[in-house]
Amino acid sequence: MKPVASGGTDTNSCQVCGGLWQLEYTRPETLTPYLSADGKLQGRNLTGFCEVHQQGLSRAVKRARELGLVPK
Ligand SMILES: [Zn+2]
């Protein structure tokens, strides 16, 4: 495990950093676990992602929405 440079109080439980998860907008099943029942993207406190991958998630969901792969 690599140390996080931020030095904040964040616990780094990011699954993408940990190699447990890949974010792919072409595979909505990798995104939907992070959407609430009404299709909203969950916050970092719920996803457990680091800032970088939370942004990546947000982008992937946006793109998947444009393609109609996840509900709007
Ligand atoms: Zn990460």
Count of structural domains within the chain: 1
Q: Is residue 71 part of a domain?
A: yes
User: How many angstroms is it from 69 CA to the middle of ligand 1?
Assistant: 23
The two three-digit tokens of residue 6, written as one number:
């931020």
User: How many angstroms is it from 50 CA to the middle of ligand 1?
Assistant: 4
| CATH number (domain holding residue 58) | 4.10.640.10
Q: Is residue 13 part of a domain?
A: no
32: Cβ contacts below 8 Å, ≥ 6 apart: 70
Note the pLDDT of residue 7: 47
Mean pLDDT, residues 55-71: 93
27: Cβ contacts below 8 Å, ≥ 6 apart: none
What is the average pLDDT score of the chain? 86
Residue 32 belongs to domain spanning: 23-72
Q: Is residue 17 part of a domain?
A: no
Q: Is residue 18 part of a domain?
A: no
